[in-house]
Amino acid sequence: MWKCHVNFFMEYSMKKFITILFITFFIVSCGPVYTPRDPAELAQEAGSYPYNYQTLVKQYLEDKLFDPYTAYYKFESPSVSNYKNYGAWVGKVMINAKNRMGGYTGYTSYWYIIVNGNVLGVTEYL
């Protein structure tokens, strides 16, 4: 009697396991498929190279920093990238700015995103 109960339990949990495995596989396989895009197509969407990227980013950050005129910047030149499935010029900037107490906070890294000569945003570097 005990042996029969154990076999039933094993058979039930194996069916449950296979069912969960099948459902998981089905859900994962229905997700979107990432297809890499052509760099030339991305560059065309992003617009021409922003030679004035430093000025654009500094102007964008003027109203976002507490004291933007005393901030120190270290820029890396942008490269064309896939941003939210569109072409954009993406680069890294490190900013050392003053806080409300007047002390410098230390360099913090950020991404800047430029499309057709407009800064879309400056987000924290992860």
Residue 49 has pLDDT above 70, yes or no: yes
The burial of 94, by beta-carbon neighbours within 10 Å (0-12 exposed, 13-18 middle, 19 or more buried), is given as middle
Residue 121 has pLDDT above 60, yes or no: yes
Q: What is the mean pLDDT of the chain?
A: 83
The single-letter code of the amino acid at 28 is: V
Give the residue, 10 or 110, on which the prediction is more confident: 110
Residue 54 has pLDDT above 90, yes or no: yes
Rounded to two decimals, what is the model's pTM? 0.67
Residue 21 confidence class, pLDDT cut points 50, 70, 90: confident
Distances (CA, A) of 95 to 70, 71, 72, 91: 11, 7, 6, 13
Residue 26 has pLDDT above 80, yes or no: no
Beta strand ranges found along 4-85 (DSSP E): 72-75, 79-83
Task: List, for residues 56-111, the tens digit of each pLDDT value.
Answer: 999 999 888 888 889 999 999 999 988 888 889 999 999 999 888 889 889 999 99
> What are the b/e assignments for 63-84, b being 16+ CB within 10 Å?
eeeeebeebeeeeeebebbbbe
What is the mean pLDDT of the segment spanning 6-20? 68
Residue 3 has pLDDT above 60, yes or no: no
What size, in residues, is the chain?
A: 126
pLDDT in the model for residue 8: 52
Give CA–CA dist 10/13, Å, rounded: 5
pLDDT in the model for residue 12: 62
Taking the mean position of all CA atoms in its chain, how far away is CA 116?
20
Cβ count within 10 A of residue 50: 22
